[in-house]
Amino acid sequence: MEGALTARDRVGIQDFVLLDETTDAAFLSNLKKRFSKDLIYTYIGTLLVSVNPYKELDIFTKKQMDLYMGVNFFELPPHIYALADNAYHTMLTEFNNHFILISGESGAGKTEASKKILQYYAVSCPSTTLLNTVRDKMLMSNPVLEAFGNAKTLKNDNSSRFGKYMDIQFDSQGDAVGGHILNYLLEKSRVVHQNHGERNFHIFYQLVEGGEDGLLRKLGLERDCQHYNYLTQGECAIVSSINDRNDWKTVKNALQIINIDEINTNHLFGIVASVLHLGNVQFDSDSKGQALLNNNNNAELRWVSNLLGVDATSLQEGLTYRKIEARKDQVFSPFTIDHAIYARDALAKAIYGQTFTWLVSRINESMENKDPSRKTVIGLLDIYGFEVFYVNSFEQFCINYCNEKLQQLFIQLTLKAEQEEYEAEDIEWEPVQFFNNKIICDLVEEKHRGIISILDEECLRPGDATDLTFLERLEDKMGNHPHFVTHKLADKMTRKTLERGDFRLLHYAGEVTYCVVGFLDKNNDLLYRNIKDLICQSKNAIVRECFSAVDPDSRRRPETVATQFKSSLLKLTEILMAKEAWYIRCLKSNESKQPGQFDEALIRHQVKYLGLMEHLRVRRAGFAYRRKYEVFLKRYKPLCPATWPHWRGMPADGVEVLVQHLGYFPNEYKMGRTKIFIRHPRTLYATEDAYEKCKHELATRLQAKYKGYRAKGEFKKQKEAATKIETCWRGVQARKEREKRAWAVKVIKKFIKGYMTRGQAKTTDNSEYLAFVRQNYLNRLKENLPKTVLDKTTWQSPPAVLTETSEILRTLHYRLMVRKYVRGITPQKKAQLQLKVTASSIFKGKKESYPQSVAQPFVDTRISEQEINMRVLQMIRNERIKYSVPVIKYDRNGFKPRPRQLILTQTAAYVIEEAKIKQRVLYTSLKGISVSSLTDGIIVFHITCEDPKEKGDLVMQCDHLFEFLTKLSIIANKQNAIKVVQGSIKIEIQAGKESAVDFSTGQEHMVYKAKNGHLMVVATRARTR
């Protein structure tokens, strides 16, 4: 229950004891809140309040039963199974007797509740074949009793018209071994009269509708309810909610199970049929007003005499005459019609009522447990609740009296239980404020002074006692009783609400006004003597058995109905007082039997008349809540650091520490021997709220831990999976690698073999290798081809197999390059190259500085015409200037260096100094040209010199030696005249006068006149490239 404390806003609280305020409004609001959520059960302590949902809920399944088995009362939501189970287990552990009192208005669900409890025991108790038959009998007694004792009323299509107390006996193992039923006050008047919209007892309709053809024939019945007066008054013989034909089969089957043999079954149906026939017996009156049997009715009467096994004439007599015994004489006094009808109906009621009692005793016989060992019992009391109608009669008076008794019982038992608990727990008893209804019980039942006594007196006294005289007697005796009012006794205001024939009782549950009409008759319940004598002779065994029990000779009047009822209630009270009580209070949600309708006014009324608020107040007086220390500590220990997570000491000490920590005030709680008592619900709520908050924190912590744990597990799993995948993958890789290696070994082996046999002719061994070598070489070659014709080194050396190919390719490639080169050459370049070729042919391999010059292109001239003096130009105008270059001329005398321009024309070479032509050397006279083999730029023109006046050889130094001489050689056609001289060059200074130019090498270029008179030229070493 504590678990649901937190949901109290949403679904209401599960125990009214914990309501903040004990007002009707709060009570109803809680009930309504729960009802709207289909929560039909709510506790008041251990009392169960049940609201009829008028629809099937799925809370009565086998699964639900299993759920509630052996579970503590407060651990699960309120349920009838919880109550049944707790009663059962308390009985087993404490080995004592219990009863469950089910009360409520007609149609509130009492009978359904008692059936649910029986079903629960049928499933939850241990079972054997023997026990199963007991169980079947207990379960099957229900349809039989319902057929004979239930009827459709305005309030309930299956209303029990009798009170029922059933003991279920259990042995020490908890097996259900037997049962016993007590019945109370069957509403016999229904046999002969039904209000509009109501029916007679089910069995009549079941027989007429469902009875086999043969049976009906035997019983003289027509298959038509409309045919019978006792079935048609309510004008609703057939109702859609009731299937009489099916029920008939169930009842027949049930009769067998409860051991009613065929003969008795026949007798039983004979009685039922006889009642129907009796109802059809009509009377006429003769001229004197005496009742005569209607002639058309002979057949019906015969059927009655036939079925009951009595003499037809005597029966007819009995119904129309009264036998009066005056001393030894018998006088027959004829009836009026009214009397006759009264006698007929009295007979019908009597035989039906007695048969019902007989049936109950038969059921009891069949359920009886013959084992004498001690048994414990759970009693189920399904009894009418408080009834308040528009007009209330004798029956309501009895019923309400019964409820007063039960309320009295409840108060005594509850207070007793509370007191005992306080005593056991050593807690001081605090007087409880509640209304004790003993005063009303006394008003009804007190010997000589109570209403029942006065009623009996009126019934028995000689003279003309009537209902009204009875009322007067009441007024006399009860005149100033605070709970009794009549029209005469009432004050002005109240009088308006009372008729003259009414009396009003102020019951504990509220006021009820009774109309005295019929009280005497109903209390007397007289069967005329001669009829009684007659049916005592009945050949119908059941009837005979029923009526012979009453000594026909006894002159004593039988007990009145009220007195019988009173004594049976006293007996019941005794039975119940010796047992532990459990209560179920059934409430009807609405009058129209509709699901989902919560009729507040109707329910408020029932709450009042069931005394639920009284009950609640008694329960809450003192302490609203109490729990065993262990249970309390177990739940709330997280609220205190000293008790969480474990309390090592005694639970009571732990609870003390805990409530101190929670700040309970001393008057809010008491510490009992085994339990803590909490006075106000609000204290518990505060604790529960704190617990709820704390629980969330705890839950979060637990959750985090759990999540961590889960994550770890998950991680481990993933890791394992990863490792597994890795291993597999590695395996795959390794296998691949191995295959690759094997393949590689094969390839390498083949390669090596190929390599070793590469020189041989092509075989299978080397063909691949050779192909590879070829391919490889060709690829290499392609990437590394020489870029220029001059590049002779880059060509890749071929493998043996491709030597020839390589040569061919090389030739091709060079040719291609040459071709490309040649194609790309311009005429200018060609001329230049031709000059270079000439230069090459003259100097290559001879003069040291030649290689350096090869790369220097030759130019057309080194001195442009603008730089040549105009006069010189004029002087040589006739000859075309081919080439000019600056030179240094060495004087013949002393070899002084003189810068000069040297101009080559078509015919001669001119040495020019500014505007002067210093010398003109005709090509024809130029017999030779010498240069050294070194790096210097010295050029010697050997000139034919015949005349000494003529100038001798010309010695010059020119920076562009090769260009100059090449041009000269071509212009003057002197290729062969140019000599590269090793050592000194002889020169003729004048005709016949010789000298020389000597050459040496040194660090620095120098030209000077040596001591020997020669021109000394020191050439630098040519830089090697």
Ligand X SMILES: Nc1ncnc2c1ncn2[C@@H]1O[C@H](COP(=O)(O)OP(=O)(O)O)[C@@H](O)[C@H]1O
Segment 826-865, which members bind Mg ion (CB under 5 A)? none
CB 655 within 8 Å of CB 676: yes
Choose the one of ligand X, Mg ion, none that binds residue 54, judging by a C-beta under 5 to 8 angstroms depending on kind.
Answer: ligand X
* Residue 106 annotated to the active site: yes
Residue 114 CB, shortest distance to ligand X, in Å, is: 8
Nearer CB in complex with ligand X: 593/635: 593
Sign of torsion, CA 853 855 858 859? Answer: negative
Residue 404 Cβ vs ligand X, minimum distance, rounded to whole Å = 19
The three-point CA angle 79-181-208 to 5° equals: 95
* Residue 158 binding target from Mg ion, ligand X, none, CB below 5 to 8 Å by type: ligand X
Segment interacting with Mg ion, rule: CB under 5 A, options 39-47, 102-110, 297-305, 552-560: 102-110
- Site track for ligand X across 97-136, x = CB under 6 A: -------x-xxxxxxx------------------------
Examine the residue annotation and report whether 75 is marked as an active-site residue of this protein. Answer: no
**Proportion of the chain in helix, strand, coil states, percent, rounded to 5:** 50, 20, 30
Min separation Cβ 201 and Mg ion, Å: 13
Task: Between 588 and 847, name the residue whose CB sits nearer to ligand X.
Answer: 588
For residue 853, the Cα-to-chain-centroid distance in whole angstroms is 101
Instruction: Tell me the closest approach of the beta carbon of residue 107 to Mg ion, in angstroms.
Output: 8
Site for Mg ion in 143-182 (CB under 5 A): 160
Strands (E), 274-363: 283-285, 291-293, 321-326, 329-334
What is d(CA 626, CA 668) in angstroms, rounded to the nearest whole number? Answer: 12
Question: Closer to Mg ion at the Cβ: 110 or 626?
Answer: 110
Active site residue 2: no
Give phi and psi for 386, each to the nearest 5: -55, 135
Enter the tokens of residue 969. 């050689």
In whole angstroms, how close is the CB of 135 to ligand X at the nearest point? 21
Indicate if 1013 belongs to the active site.
Answer: no
Least spacing, CB of residue 109 vs ligand X, in Å: 3
107 vs 389: CA distance, rounded Å: 14
Q: Closest approach of Cβ 388 to ligand X, in Å?
A: 15
Write down the catalytic residue from 46, 50, 106, 453: 106
Binding segment for ligand X among 65-73, 153-161, 318-326, 649-657 (CB under 6 A)? 153-161
Contacts for 764-767: CB closer than 8 Å, 24+ residues apart: none
Sheet holding 978-981, edge to edge: 916-922, 908-913, 897-905, 881-890, 954-957, 938-943, 926-932, 978-981
CB of 159 to Mg ion, least distance (A): 6
Number of residues counted as binding Mg ion (CB under 5 A)? 3
Cα–Cα nearest to 782, from 769, 799, 795: 795
> 986: which strand partners?
996
Residues 6+ apart with CB under 8 A from 738: none
Q: Using the rule CB under 6 A, is 156 a contact of ligand X?
A: yes
Nearest 10 degrees: Cα torsion 391, 397, 399, 401: 140
Pick the closer one to ligand X by CB: 55 or 416. Answer: 55
**DSSP one-letter code for 237:** S
Which of 46, 141, 159, 589 does the annotation list as catalytic? 159
Distance CA 520, CA 658 (A): 66
| DSSP codes of every residue in 981-1002 | ESS-EEEEEETTEEEEEEEEEE
Out of ligand X, Mg ion, none, what residue 107 binds, judged by CB under 5 to 8 A for its kind, is: ligand X
292 three-state secondary structure: strand
In terms of CB distance, is 110 or 339 closer to ligand X? Answer: 110
Q: Is 844 in a helix, a strand, or coil?
A: coil
Looking at residue 293, the DSSP 8-state letter turns out to be E
| Residue 945 identity | C
Query: Is residue 243 a contact point for ligand X (CB under 6 A)?
Result: no
> Is residue 293 close enough to count as binding ligand X by CB under 6 A?
no
For residues 108 and 186, which CB has a smaller minimum distance to ligand X in the complex?
Answer: 108
Residue from the set 111, 400, 408, 957 that interacts with Mg ion by CB under 5 A: 111
CB atoms within 10 A of CB 866: 7
**Which partner, Mg ion, ligand X, none, binds residue 882 by CB below 5 to 8 Å per kind?**
none
Supply the DSSP string of 376-427, one letter for each residue: EEEEEEEEE-----SSB-HHHHHHHHHHHHHHHHHHHHHHHHHHHHHHHTT-
Closest CB 53 distance from ligand X, rounded Å: 5
Q: Which residue is nearest to ligand X, using beta carbons?
A: 109
Nearer to ligand X, 52 or 796 (CB): 52
Nearest residue (CB) to Mg ion, 56 versus 946: 56
Closest CA to 410 of 435, 387, 433, 388: 435
Q: How far is the CB of 255 from ligand X (least distance, A)?
A: 21
Question: Residues 583-622 vs ligand X: string with x where CB under 6 A?
Answer: ---x------------------------------------
**Candidate list 163, 210, 353, 385, residue with the active-site label:** 385
Query: Could you tell me which residues are beta bridge partners of residue 675?
Result: 628
| Per-residue buried b or exposed e for 1012-1025, using 16+ beta carbons within 10 Å of the residue's own CB | eebbbbbbbeeeee
Question: Is residue 159 annotated as part of the catalytic site, yes or no?
Answer: yes
The residue range among 54-62, 298-306, 645-653, 654-662 that interacts with ligand X, by the rule CB under 6 A, is 54-62
Residue 54 or 751: the one with the smaller Cβ distance to ligand X is: 54
Element containing residue 176 per DSSP (H, E): strand 176-184
In total, the chain counts a number of residues equal to 1025
Q: Least Å distance between CB 160 and ligand X?
A: 5
Q: Is 39 left (phi over 0), alpha (psi -120 to 50) or beta?
A: beta
Which of these segments, 46-54, 615-623, 884-892, 977-985, binds ligand X (CB under 6 A)?
A: 46-54
Which of ligand X, Mg ion, none sits in contact with 489, Cβ below 5 to 8 A by type? none
CB 384 → ligand X: shortest distance, Å? 8
Give me the helices (H) in 483-626, please. Answer: 492-495, 519-524, 529-536, 541-548, 561-577, 600-609, 612-620
Beta bridge partners of 897: 890
Among the listed residues 46, 103, 156, 538, the single catalytic one is: 156
Told to check if 932 binds Mg ion by CB under 5 A, we report: no
> In angstroms, rounded to a whole number, what is the distance separating the alpha carbons of residues 603 and 609?
10
Phi, psi angle pair for 895, to nearest 5°: 50, 40
> Which two tokens mark 165?
């107390």
Residue 109: contacted member of Mg ion, ligand X, none (CB under 5 to 8 Å, by partner type): ligand X
Contact call for residue 159 and ligand X (CB under 6 A): yes
- State how far the Cα of 799 lies from the Cα of 262, in Å rounded to an integer: 126
Q: How far is the CB of 186 from Mg ion (least distance, A)?
A: 13
Q: Which does 586 bind (CB under 5 to 8 A by kind): ligand X, Mg ion, none?
A: ligand X
List the helix and strand counts (H, then E) for the chain: 36, 31
Q: Which residues of this chain interact with ligand X, rule CB under 6 A?
A: 52-57, 104, 106-112, 156, 158-160, 586
Q: Which residues of this chain interact with Mg ion, rule CB under 5 A?
A: 110-111, 160
Looking at the annotation, which residues are catalytic?
106-107, 111, 156, 159-160, 385, 387
